Amino acid sequence: MNALETTKSEAVLFLTHVWSEDLARRFIAIRQATINTMQCYVLVDAADSEVLDSWRNYLGKLGIGSHIFLFDVNQIEASLGYDCFIKGKLVPGSAHYPVLNFWKSFNYERYWVIEFDVLLAGEWSSFFKLFEHDQSDLLLSHLTTYEMQPAWGWWASVRVPFKILSKISKEDYKFLQKGFFPIYRISHQALSAIDSGHSEGWQGHFEAVLPTLLNNKQLSIKDFNDVADLYFKGPIGPNDGNPPFSSLRWRPEVELDELNVSVGLKLFHPVKS
């Protein structure tokens, strides 16, 4: 365990490259909802010194200045030991690298990852309680397969190690899976498998690589829809259709007014502040 020694088995990672007081309040709301059960951190892109200083000052005034973890796209490939999907860039395709980098410094059993522009209609404490007994290695949104959504644009990016590919017909894409990752929970075992997988040669857009790799390694994957209905009916992108593909509301960008008319716990991303 890192310097923040804790007996808590789960961490929440609030992933951001921007600052605003509204975002800070979102983080604090999550922290207050999990203060007795999880350890919360802000994962901040180190590229913008003003953003970094704002987060440091804010958290420092609250006495939690140590709950910040930096990631630097210029150093993260060397730190992890393998290249990004597009070398030198986290987006598109390698947005999980800051999480892997954090995981190498800590030792939690599970990690909730929440992007800064995710909002929940309802209480975060009620949301997390839904999954407290679930042992899945990966919980996420929009879990589906190549066979169900062949038009999705990143399938062809997946590169599989030869020792695995040699067992699969080159024309057989049925083994491919994909998900949506603005909010997800992932286990220590899954992150270890992903780290090893990248070192072995698994490459491609992470939305397809992670579910496909974990399924290949026989780790458990579950869509949020398998536990609760978190999707507010509304506009949806052409690649994600309707449930069961959709388990959070996205595209086009979400207006804050939508949160006021939703019923029950519902996930939204991306949300205009």
Average pLDDT of the residues in 71-97 = 96
Average pLDDT of the residues in 7-12 = 91
pLDDT of residue 184: 97
pLDDT band at 227 (very low <50, low <70, confident <90, very high): confident
Quickly count: other Cβ atoms within 10 Å of residue 251's Cβ.
Answer: 14
pLDDT of residue 273: 54
For residue 48, what are the β-bridge partners? none
- Whether residue 213 is predicted with pLDDT greater than 90 in this model: the reply is yes
In a domain? residue 2: no
Average pLDDT of the residues in 199-216 = 95
DSSP letter assigned to residue 253: P
User: For residue 128, which phi and psi values (nearest 5 degrees)?
Assistant: -65, -30
In a domain? residue 83: yes
In a domain? residue 246: yes
Q: What is the CATH number of the domain that holds 124?
A: 3.90.550.10
Instruction: For 56-96, give the DSSP string.
Output: HHHHHHTT-TTSEEEE-HHHHHHHHTS--SBTTB-TTT-TT
pLDDT band at 241 (very low <50, low <70, confident <90, very high): very low
Instruction: For 182-214, give the DSSP string.
Output: EEEEEEHHHHHHHHHHHHHT-BS-HHHHHHHHH
- Whether residue 174 is predicted with pLDDT greater than 80 in this model: the reply is no
User: Between residues 199 and 265, which one has the greater pLDDT?
Assistant: 199
pLDDT of residue 249: 52
Please classify residue 12 by burial: count the beta carbons closer than 10 Å to its beta carbon, then call 0-12 exposed, 13-18 middle and 19+ buried. Answer: buried
Q: Please report where in the chains the tokens 């899976």 appear, as a residue.
A: 177
CA 208-209-213 angle, 5° bins: 125
Q: Which two tokens mark 114? A: 């929440």
In a domain? residue 244: yes
In a domain? residue 1: no
- Whether residue 107 is predicted with pLDDT greater than 90 in this model: the reply is yes
DSSP letter assigned to residue 11: E
- Whether residue 243 is predicted with pLDDT greater than 50 in this model: the reply is no
Average pLDDT of the residues in 29-36 = 97
pLDDT of residue 229: 66
In a domain? residue 134: yes
pLDDT of residue 270: 60
Contact status, residue 13 vs residue 108, Cβ threshold 8 Å: no
Tell me which residue range forms the domain holding 236. 10-268
Query: Nearest to residue 143, comparing CAs of 180, 184, 182?
Result: 180
pLDDT band at 76 (very low <50, low <70, confident <90, very high): very high
pLDDT band at 267 (very low <50, low <70, confident <90, very high): confident
Please state the domain count of the chain: 1
pLDDT band at 236 (very low <50, low <70, confident <90, very high): very low
- Whether residue 192 is predicted with pLDDT greater than 80 in this model: the reply is yes
CA–CA distance, 270 with 171 (Å, rounded to integer): 35
Contact status, residue 116 vs residue 14, Cβ threshold 8 Å: yes
User: Does the N-terminal peptide bond of residue 243 adopt cis geometry, omega within 30 degrees of 0?
Assistant: no
- The packing angle between helices 21-34 and 49-61, to 10°, is 50
What is the chain's mean pLDDT, rounded?
85
- Percent residues over pLDDT 90 in the chain: 64
Query: CA 98 → CA 81, 86, 179, 261, distances in Å?
Result: 13, 15, 18, 34
- Percent residues over pLDDT 70 in the chain: 78
User: Lowest mean pLDDT: which of 119-128, 149-158, 161-170, 214-223?
Assistant: 161-170
